[in-house]
Amino acid sequence: VAALKKPRRVVILVKAGKPVDETIDVLAAHMEAGDMIVDGGNEWYPNTLARGEKLRPRGIRFVGMGVSGGEEGARHGPSLMPGCERDAYDALEPVLRKIAAQTDSGPCVTWCGELGAGNYVKMVHNGIEYGDMQLIAEVYDVLKTLKGLDNDELSSIFAEWNRGELQSYLVEITSQIFARRDVEESGAETADFVVDKILDKTGMKGTGRWTVQEAAERSVAAPTIASALDMRIISALKEQREATAARFPAVEADAIPRVDKAQLVADLRKALYAAKICSYAQGMQLIAAAAAENEWSINLAECARIWKGGCIIRARFLDRIRAAFERSPDLPSLLLDPEFASEILDALPHWRRVVTLAVACGIPTPALSASLQYFYSVRRARLPANLTQAQRDFFGAHSYQRTDKPGDFHTEWLKHNPLAPSAAAAAGGGAASSAAE
């Protein structure tokens, strides 16, 4: 610490939780007012806020910075999502711009907002990453189960998609994964593919879970991301799935219709793209909700820009999201952007065909389906929630609003009701009781 130029700027990348506190304590003991500590871990944002509070009296400035990029990001530059006081960011920016991945939209770093906001943006990035991965897995499952595509064909399809609107790191590595042969200990390639040897149990590290919990906390619907978390959970229950599988057919094989392979591939491409739009719409809404409640200055267009390189969800598609939020910084939902709306309309017949087909055949497509259900729900001016409110008023006197006049209303549901248990008896006294209603 003593050797560093003042004000000192120290980036730590250690395991989230206690190790971060211990490292900060050791560093801070040798630091002085104006110095900065940047935590680059996947930290739960309230922990970052608490650390900032603890360091504040000493004048040490704390930065919670999301970092995405995995092994490749470590070598070629990651996407950096720092949250801190604006002037602390200004002091760090020259260094961070050099460390970050470089794209045709600039280096993948921006001021993500105040302390905590950087961790939040990274958390949602990871939730979106869960969604993207689950959507790709479902496309794989449908192609393999319905048409028996082999790994070479799958690899070609994802490579082809990677040249168009789906261009992204995850689609690219998917094509590469399907091309990878298994290798014996001797070093000799086998005829098998690694992907076929991998056990279907996934791990996870917490950020997807946090995203789902935060979405519930902020009253933001994020069903695509939630379905991806659920599938991580269900995949891990391998033994329970095997026991359940023994009681049921694996798929409804008799229901599998003749499907043209080229048409199915084209349908899946559009379905994946539309489902992705809905998933990103959920994630962006979550960031916006947290920013509003925490008074964070988060620029959603900038979030999309810095995700364009370095990080796991990097994709051409993010240019579109950036443009949508540049056109309309307060856009409540990506589905309200005219360009995305038109793309969804274009994809809709394909997307519906994919989900109906998979549902008919019994192939799980929870994320493709959750996105579609999300779209169906938010594009509907009138939902059957009137019945839900009626039920809540019936059993709990929770009251309801009306479509024809303002105010809160409560109904005595079993008065004026031919189905009331004592309707016959009540009919006599109906006039009196209804007047009191």
| Residue count (the chain) | 437
199 binds a second copy, rule: CB under 8 A: yes
Residue 129 among the catalytic residues: yes
N- to C-terminal Cα separation, the chain:
75
- In the DSSP assignment, the letter for residue 10 is E
Q: Which of residues 282-311 bind a second copy (CB under 8 A)?
A: none
210-216 contacts, C-beta under 8 A, 24 or more apart: 210/44, 210/123, 210/127, 211/123, 211/124, 211/126, 211/127, 211/130, 211/283, 211/286, 212/127, 214/120, 214/123, 214/286, 214/290, 215/127, 215/282, 215/286
- In the DSSP assignment, the letter for residue 243 is H
Q: Of 57 and 407, which has the nearer Cβ to a second copy? A: 407
Residue 122 among the catalytic residues: yes
Contact 65, 38 (CB under 8 A): yes
Out of 111, 161, 169, 296, the residue judged to bind a second copy by CB under 8 A = 169
Out of 2, 3, 29, 250, the residue judged to bind a second copy by CB under 8 A = 250
425 binds a second copy, rule: CB under 8 A: no
> How many residues of this chain interact with a second copy, rule: CB under 8 A?
132
Q: Which of residues 109-138 bind a second copy (CB under 8 A)?
A: 133-134, 136-138
φ, ψ at 379 (rounded to 5°)? -90, 10
At a CB cut-off of 8 Å and minimum separation 6, what does 118 contact? 48, 63, 64, 65, 66, 81, 82, 83, 84, 112
CA dist 80 and 99 (Å) reads 9
Q: Of 37 and 264, which has the nearer Cβ to a second copy? A: 264
The CA radius of gyration of the chain, in Å to the nearest whole number, is: 26
Q: Which of residues 26-55 bind a second copy (CB under 8 A)?
A: none
175 binds a second copy, rule: CB under 8 A: yes
Q: Which of residues 79-108 bind a second copy (CB under 8 A)?
A: none
**Residue 184 CB: number of other CB atoms within 10 A?**
9
CA torsion angle 156 157 162 163 (round to 10)? 80
Q: Of 216 and 253, which has the nearer Cβ to a second copy? A: 216
Q: Which of residues 326-355 bind a second copy (CB under 8 A)?
A: 332-333, 335-336, 338, 341, 344-345, 348, 352, 355
CA dist 40 and 37 (Å) reads 10
Q: Which of residues 205-234 bind a second copy (CB under 8 A)?
A: 209, 212-213, 216-217, 219-223, 226-227, 229-234
240 binds a second copy, rule: CB under 8 A: yes
Of the residues 122, 270, 276, 308, only one is catalytic, namely: 122
Q: Of 296 and 374, which has the nearer Cβ to a second copy? A: 374
Contact 138, 146 (CB under 8 A): no
Q: HSE, CB side, 13 Å, CA atoms: give it for residue 140.
A: 18
Out of 90, 150, 189, 293, the residue judged to bind a second copy by CB under 8 A = 189
Out of 21, 85, 93, 141, the residue judged to bind a second copy by CB under 8 A = 141
Q: Which stretch binds a second copy (CB under 8 A): 1-9, 33-41, 42-50, 70-78?
A: 70-78
383 binds a second copy, rule: CB under 8 A: yes
196 binds a second copy, rule: CB under 8 A: yes
277 binds a second copy, rule: CB under 8 A: no
Find the shortest distance in angstroms from Cβ 174 to a second copy.
Answer: 7
Out of 46, 70, 329, 429, the residue judged to bind a second copy by CB under 8 A = 70
Of the residues 43, 129, 138, 172, only one is catalytic, namely: 129
CA dist 69 and 42 (Å) reads 12
266 binds a second copy, rule: CB under 8 A: no
Q: What residues act catalytically?
A: 122, 129
